[in-house]
Amino acid sequence: MEMKKRLNLELRNKKPAEVKELVLDNCRSDDGKIGGLSSDFENLEFLSMINVNLLSVANLPKLNKLRKLELSDNRISGGLEVLAEKTPNLTHLNLSGNKIKDINTLEPLKKLSHLRSLDLFNCEVTTLISYRESIFTLLPQLTYLDGFDTNDKEAPDSDPEVDGLEDEYDENGEEGEEEDEEDEEDLDEDAVDDEEDEEDLDGEEEEDGVDDEEEEEGEDDDEDEDLPQGEKRKREIEDEGEDDPDEDDDDDEDD
């Protein structure tokens, strides 16, 4: 797809001034040049044109608010003075996979006073002796080159704006953790309550068991009271006979 058509699709009925991020990756440039982009995108902060077969950035319009520019996997070999003129507030520039061979080609970037991160992966210039030292000397405003600072400390994955969102997420995450802890405490309290309820139920069951035994004994006594006097006496004698079998044996021996 041609860059102009892709640009119209990305607008999605928006006005250019309403767009802050624009991704035109993998479309076809206009004879190696930027096409369709104008200074009407005055609030654009992020622009990505990866693998669009660019030979030059000469047609880049004035974009004062642009902070991050992705130009990797093209065929750019020079002409970077345009960036200093058209994107004065640029902080991140990715030129990986282009045809940059010499340190001097990057000299125009000295005018980008806000430039903090520069990527040149897979460019021939990276094979030069003392490449990193030379770049940091040429561009003292840089913090990160190819993702690492002068002390080989890796750059964060996101820019300050995204970091702000991450901080907000962390705060929400901490709140979420506090809520989880409160939920766990509630669950523990519920578990204790359940154990106490079970103990109460066990106690009630034991009491019910004792009451049932007492009721059964009472029922036996009631049955004895309901018997006629003769039957009651007979039953008592039988009970005594069952209780004292040894006495019967003694009587037999005496006989």
Distance CA 54, CA 71 (A): 8
Q: Can you tell me the distance from the alpha carbon of 210 to that of 212, in angstroms, rounded to the nearest whole number?
A: 5
Alpha-carbon gap, residue 40 to 53, rounded angstroms: 24
* Residue 52 DSSP one-character state: S
SS3 68: strand
Tens of pLDDT along the chain (255 residues)? 899 899 999 998 899 999 999 999 999 988 899 999 999 999 999 999 999 999 999 999 999 999 999 999 999 999 999 999 999 999 999 999 999 999 999 999 999 999 999 999 999 999 999 999 999 999 999 999 999 999 999 988 755 443 433 343 344 444 444 455 555 555 556 555 656 655 655 555 555 554 555 555 555 555 555 555 555 555 555 555 555 545 444 444 444
Say what the pTM is: 0.63
Task: Check: CB of residue 98 under 8 Å from CB of residue 76.
Answer: yes
